[in-house]
Structure 1
Amino acid sequence: MSDSPILTVDLAQWRAGGAAAEEVCAAVDISLQQAGFLLVTGHGIDPTLPARLRATAREFFALPGHVKSKYAVGVGGRGWIGPGMEANGYAEGTETPPDLKETYNSGAQTRVGIPEVDDYWFAPDVWPVEAPALSELFTAWTTAMKTLSDDLLALMAASLGLAGDANPFRGLAGNATWTSNINHYPPLTAVGDPADGQYRIGPHTDFGTVTVLDREPGAGGLQVYSDDGGWADAPYAPDALTINIGDLLEYWSGGRWPAGRHRVLPPQPDAPEEDLVSLIFFYELDHDAVVTPLAPPIGRESGRASVISGEFIKTRLDAITVG
């Protein structure tokens, strides 16, 4: 993986400051320009937490469909998003079959007192009684992910020489919206042969600022697109989290950093029993945050209009909803 455009950085070195921190910042800028992705070590997340959460999630996903359907919601809701509900390829304007996955979803709970805002961005989480540990473990994981995501935004600003008071995100993520998915990718023996153009997740970019991914590698796993290399398997290290940036951060960077385009391959014939679970945290900004793109020389394009975070993201969520 030494020739991958996706670099690995150590957050502990950045936090320590000095010359090592400057090297980390330089690597962040290079990796995000090349692919919109990073691998991050030194993040301080207890490795037993995602392992316990993944095990508990598997208990839920193993329940019969009629039990899981008690918690069924649509895309953007809180609860179980069953098979056939999402087609991420639609975000690129490509009509594709539904993604081969199911999801359990939670989200930010910091309501602002405006019903139409709270109902959409801060809807109550729903917890299945059949998997009683899910609530505690999922909440612990998302709490850690929010703290990490704030650190990542600060790191990314610093990598552009915009640290401290110059950080353009200061004041924009105090009550940030976020969504977290536990994605289950069933085996080939359960879902059958994929249709033409069907993936576990179709090619797309994420919509917000940073995405944090704790994943299991596999034959039908994550691939990342870069201009130089095309589609390639994403590098993996057991102690690293996979980070990518979304459309909102690409827009904010004035096109300097492309949103990380990626897909998850369908289950493969040579691994028919492969059954994967990914933990994903999609971070955004305050729902009403005004994002003003960086101008050259940092940004690559000038003249981009400011956008409202919530409006920007909702348009993209609507695009991937089947039906």
Structure 2
Amino acid sequence: MASSAPGPRPPHAQSPVPVIDLGPWRSGGPAARQRIAATVDEALQAAGFLLVTGHGVDPRLAARIRAAARAFFRLPAKVKEPYAVAVGGRGWLGPGAEANSYAEGTASPPDLKESWSCAAERPTGDPAVDAEWFRPNAWPAEVPELRPLAEDYLARMQALSDELLELLAAALGLAPDHFTRHTGHPTWGFNLNWYPGTEVVGPPLPGQFRIGPHTDFGTVTVLDREPGAGGLQIHTDAGGWQDAPYDPAALTVNIGDLLARWTGDRWRAGRHRVLPPPADTPTEELVSLVYFYECDPHTRVESLPAPIGRVAHAPVDSHTYLRAKLDAISVS
């Protein structure tokens, strides 16, 4: 499936994805904070996405991580193969390992990407939990600069994600720690996604994407992305599929299934996809930094009641849910 869809457009007044500046949220008075919270609530009902500026993450750090990631991904396959893992592992997800549309129950060819994946590794002291969710990360010896850069970035992402969860609690009129009381020792995942051109992946098959349509699985996802014609699209009920707005100063934030369930479907998990290499620029190559935040292992996720919540989902164990989703997108 080739596409000639236009590249992501700058944010504009009609976009369901607003730009949220964290500066006024941190330093503004009650009226400013209330306006920001109301904007967040409206956006997460409509699309499940935000653009966030004022986050304090130096863009040069992401640029250096991208350079290191590209150095790894461009290595010969035989050099990368010793790091190969399955979905949910720590290492290299090679071509054909993952099909995100499976999470929606939709059959599709595998996603047109490679990933370097890592995840939470600080042990809890519970052997069973640690064996499943807090194993040591692997790092490529061929690109030694990647580890310190990524670890710096990951510390910043966890702090930012907790701040975002506090903002989201305020947007619902809840106590600031309503969600973060469940992130004392959380799990998270981090993917460096490489989307090469057709000279690497070949022509897209019918129904094949760089990442197939899906929603993320956890609480919040924080994405540092590059603009491209074969880039991110979001889905809303009002507009269908549309190019995600892009702001070079912003991080793209969306909520996942667990948080949507937590809000009783007041907020929607942000449904999205990444288009295949475009027909008019088939050699387009992009790298995304994707941080998936979750919560403490085996948190009981129970829908907020009305008037906040709209659907009373049955309570779920957070990590039973996450494991089922990770298994679902694995290409056997």
CA distance in 1, matches of 2:325, 2:298: 16
Residue matched to 2:18: 7
1:291 aligns with 2:301: yes
1:106 aligns with 2:118: yes
- Which residue, 14, 35, 60 being the options, matches 1:48? 60
CA distance in 2, matches of 1:116, 1:62: 36
Cα deviations across residues 69-106 of structure 1 (Å, max 9, x unaligned)?
A: 11111100000010100000000000100000000011
1:116 aligns with 2:128: yes
Residue matched to 1:314: 323
Cα deviations across residues 213-246 of structure 1 (Å, max 9, x unaligned)?
A: 0000101000000000000000000000000000
Q: Which runs of 4+ in 1 moved over 3 A?
A: none
Following superposition, the deviation at residue 306 of structure 1 comes to 2.0
CA distance in 2, matches of 1:69, 1:260: 33
1:192 aligns with 2:202: yes
CA distance in 1, matches of 2:233, 2:71: 27
CA distance in 2, matches of 1:140, 1:237: 23
CA distance in 2, matches of 1:100, 1:220: 11
1:66 aligns with 2:75: no
Residue matched to 1:158: 170
Following superposition, the deviation at residue 307 of structure 1 comes to 1.7
- Which residue, 60, 69, 79 being the options, matches 2:91? 79
Name which of structure 1's ranges 246-255 and 286-295 shifts more when overlaid on structure 2.
Answer: 286-295
Following superposition, the deviation at residue 189 of structure 1 comes to 2.0
What is the count of residue pairs matched by the alignment? 320
Following superposition, the deviation at residue 114 of structure 1 comes to 2.6
User: Superposed, which structure 2 residues align to 1:222-301 within 5 Å?
Assistant: 222-301=232-311
- Which residue, 41, 54, 75 being the options, matches 1:29? 41
CA distance in 1, matches of 2:233, 2:101: 14
Q: Normalising to structure 2: TM-score of the pair?
A: 0.95
Following superposition, the deviation at residue 250 of structure 1 comes to 0.4
Following superposition, the deviation at residue 197 of structure 1 comes to 0.4
CA distance in 2, matches of 1:286, 1:23: 30
Asked which structure has the greater RCO (Cα within 8 Å, sep 6+), the reply is: 2
| Unmatched tracts of structure 2, length 5 or more | 1-10
CA distance in 1, matches of 2:84, 2:307: 47
Residue type at the aligned position of 1:73: V
Residue type at the aligned position of 2:249: D
- 3-state secondary structure, aligned to 1:39: strand
Following superposition, the deviation at residue 163 of structure 1 comes to 3.1
Q: Is the 8 A contact 1:74 1:81 kept in 2?
A: yes
- 3-state secondary structure, aligned to 2:233: strand
CA distance in 2, matches of 1:169, 1:292: 12
CA distance in 1, matches of 2:209, 2:232: 11
Name which of structure 1's ranges 201-210 and 285-294 shifts more when overlaid on structure 2.
Answer: 285-294
Q: Is the 8 A contact 1:201 1:263 kept in 2?
A: yes
Following superposition, the deviation at residue 200 of structure 1 comes to 0.1
CA distance in 2, matches of 1:163, 1:26: 16
Q: Is the 8 A contact 1:77 1:123 kept in 2?
A: no
C-alpha RMSD of matched pairs (Å): 1.0
